[in-house]
Chains A and B, each alone.
Chain A
């Protein structure tokens, strides 16, 4: 069974008023260790799909099975645990807490994970920052970091609980190309460590570096094939 499995997932915004069908009966299966890029025009439903995959939002209909478990039946505590340990989410807008230094941002998931020792949390946070090349910036606040560095702090935060799945919504969308390159290298590193990586992108060359490319238009998947570099296996 696939690690991630969506069956007939739809998402309708604005029920009761003007309805927007952001996703229309999407079926998608992603196996463990895959590296998938999702592409599509603005407004096609990519972020909506990603939020559902990350258990940050719930589908209007359809089923989501994560590692065989039905996400729809989970309560808030189970969901919190999935978000905390199983999935690392990287937002386009970083979403860092500006008043905390980098390492304090990175340790947040460890607090919710229940690691009591501050020392232990700090060690793990520093290690994650080192993995994204920011060992020397752990005491800096986000406002003292460049956009690329902020995104790397956010990636370190997604990585710190060692989740099997990394989801990234246009992680390079706000970055200059050299910074984008650094970020992509990190994702490739995570893929080679055996993690499942799903990322959204607008740029064809970013999409081309994944192993599998899913195209989406108007809330429907219109193509799903190995990417140009396509060595990976689908499904």
Chain B
């Protein structure tokens, strides 16, 4: 038989066995759509979790004064006085630390804020504009503090949403004035709401230029006014974190004239808690995802396998008859190959269609659900369906085609 005849006869055979064909197509369709949707939902969720974690700044390194071994870190921010603005400027050099993206020196102290009759206590951070990108914060209204503000020791401040609400209620804080301690600052912008993590409330913050903080605020606050609480560094990506760490470490050792790294008077801490949380969540999601997808594929695959096996075994007789009339095993095989391929293609196309429609539709139906269209999931599920269809549709047929016609005719 020619391929044309084979295709025609495959088509006829599919139409003649409408019910069986429909079930086969349905099995493939549902398996594929299920994989696309489960993987899509899983990846969507993973994407959201990852971006939520990224917003906390996972590429961040924190340099704090004092060495871990002498308890400097436990002593609290500002208790040792070894980090300076000069250190921060050196770290910002792209020659010495090419893998350090941004550097934000930080001095921090808690102050009472006053606006009109309202009082509020919040940590006030003196820093540079780089702080915003290192911590991945945005100014949602008004504008950021600028390098000029830093240079001119301007009395300007950015406030978090909680501070803004506590002092000004629902009205915008931008353009208003507040007292930090007894120094008046004008508020130039409001930060985005970032939520609270385990250790800090990121919305209860005030940011001012570091120079202003040192000159006007912290000189009254303690003996180490000239020194920094910390220097925040960001790497270009989470993969270059360790390079950035090494560069910062060796540069600071050199600047502080320390030869034995064990005697370093500073400590560099990667955001390990966040990182490990991120990777744990990510790993859990990945396992969950792979499991769900595997089960969906398995169920779909077993469905297709059953229908294929049944439909071939009830046709062994027909195979025997066709052989008795002069069909070669190759001819028989081609016929079953054409049928399995046609059913597989139909089921595959419909399944991908349904999966994509679901991926587009689900977020409209379930608020907050994100479905990522995953090309590997589509390719993988179609491939598995094709392989299962061929293996369980064509392999038993090829075995039947090798029987003698009479053996095949006798089978029930």
Chain A residues engaging chain B, CB cutoff 8 angstroms: 51, 54, 56-58, 76-77, 80-81, 83-85, 89, 91, 95, 97, 99, 108-109, 111-114, 116, 157, 161
Contact = CB atoms under 8 A, between A and B. Distances in A.
A112 B330 CA distance: 11
Q: Which of B9, B323, B331 has most chain A Cβ within 10 Å? A: B323
Interface stretch (B228-236, B360-368, B401-409): B401-409
B242 to A, nearest CB: 65
Interface string B327-355: 11101000000000000000000000000
A85 B406 contact: no
A80 B326 contact: yes
B16 A114 contact: no
A95 B322 contact: no
Interface of B: 1-2, 5, 9, 16, 317-318, 321-329, 331, 404-407, 409
A233 to B, nearest CB: 30
A116 B6 CA distance: 11
B2 A95 contact: no
Nearest to B8: A118
Nearest to B407: A57
Nearest to B329: A76
| Most chain B CB neighbours (cut-off 10 Å) among A56, A85, A113 | A56
A109 B326 contact: yes
B406 A80 contact: no
Contact of A83 (B2, B9, B326): B326
30 contacts: A51-B406, A54-B324, A56-B404, A56-B409, A57-B404, A57-B406, A76-B329, A77-B328, A80-B323, A80-B326, A83-B323, A83-B324, A83-B325, A83-B326, A91-B409, A95-B317, A95-B321, A95-B324, A99-B16, A108-B322, A109-B325, A109-B326, A111-B1, A112-B1, A112-B322, A112-B327, A112-B328, A112-B331, A113-B326, A114-B2
Interface-central residue, B323, B404, B406, by most chain A CB under 10 Å: B406
B8 to A, nearest CB: 9
Contacts of A57: 404-407
A111 B1 CA distance: 6
Contacts of B406: 51, 56-57
Given A51-B406, A80-B323, 13 more contacts: A56-B405, A76-B328, A77-B328, A80-B327, A81-B326, A95-B409, A99-B16, A108-B325, A109-B325, A112-B322, A112-B326, A112-B327, A112-B331
Nearest to A55: B405
A95 B316 CA distance: 13
A97 B404 contact: no
B5 A111 contact: yes
Contacts of A108: 322, 325
Contact of B2 (A54, A116, A157): A116
Nearest to B328: A80
A109 B321 CA distance: 10
Nearest to B9: A111
B2 A84 contact: no
Interface centre among B9, B318, B324, B325 (most CB of A within 10 A): B325
A57 B1 CA distance: 23
Contacts of B325: 83-84, 108-109, 112, 157
B58 to A, nearest CB: 64
Most B CB contacts (10 A, CB to CB) among A77, A85, A91, A112 go to A112
Contacts of A77: 328
A114 B331 CA distance: 11
A104 to B, nearest CB: 9
